[in-house]
Amino acid sequence: MTTKTKSIPFAQLTKLLKPFTLKTNTRPALKHIYYDGKYLIATNSHILARIPTEHITELPANHQFYFDPRKNEIVQCSQQYPETSRLFPTQFESEIKIMDINEFLTQEFIEKEME
């Protein structure tokens, strides 16, 4: 089974990420979409989106930046963006097996799994 990955233009993605940003000034960094050099990140501290850059086209050439989705521009921010990488596990203890339904329904498969 092959997986086809789609890409999205930066301008279109920032519109989709706008609802993930904070609307108030209580935490100024969270009003912006943050690019850390590897991911485009948006959070309002309740919901979080983190998009790998290999899926984004037309990405500005900066190493790191804050993007204001309301002004539609890269901005300066005096606050540091919160660390979000620890929220995503890098190792998993579970395994997912994807198979054809016909194989699943065969008696051989059921007997093999029961061993």
pLDDT in tens, 22-43: 998 899 999 999 999 999 999 9
| Residue 71: partners with Cβ closer than 8 Å, 6 or more residues away | none
Question: What backbone phi and psi angles, to 5 degrees, belong to 11?
Answer: -60, -40
In the chain, which residue ranges form alpha helices assigned H by DSSP? 10-17, 101-105, 107-114
Q: What is the pLDDT of residue 69?
A: 95
Q: What is the pLDDT of residue 63?
A: 86
- DSSP element (H, E) containing 60: none
Q: What is the pLDDT of residue 72?
A: 94
pLDDT in tens, 49-104: 999 988 899 998 888 999 999 999 999 998 999 888 878 777 778 777 776 777 66
27, 28, 34: which is closest to 50 by C-alpha? 34
Rounded to whole angstroms, how far apart are CA atoms 71 and 114? 59
Helices H, strands E: what count in the chain? 3, 7
Rounded to whole angstroms, how far apart are CA atoms 98 and 42? 31
Does the global pTM surpass 0.95?
A: no
Per the rule left: phi > 0, alpha: psi between -120 and 50, beta: everything else, 73 is beta
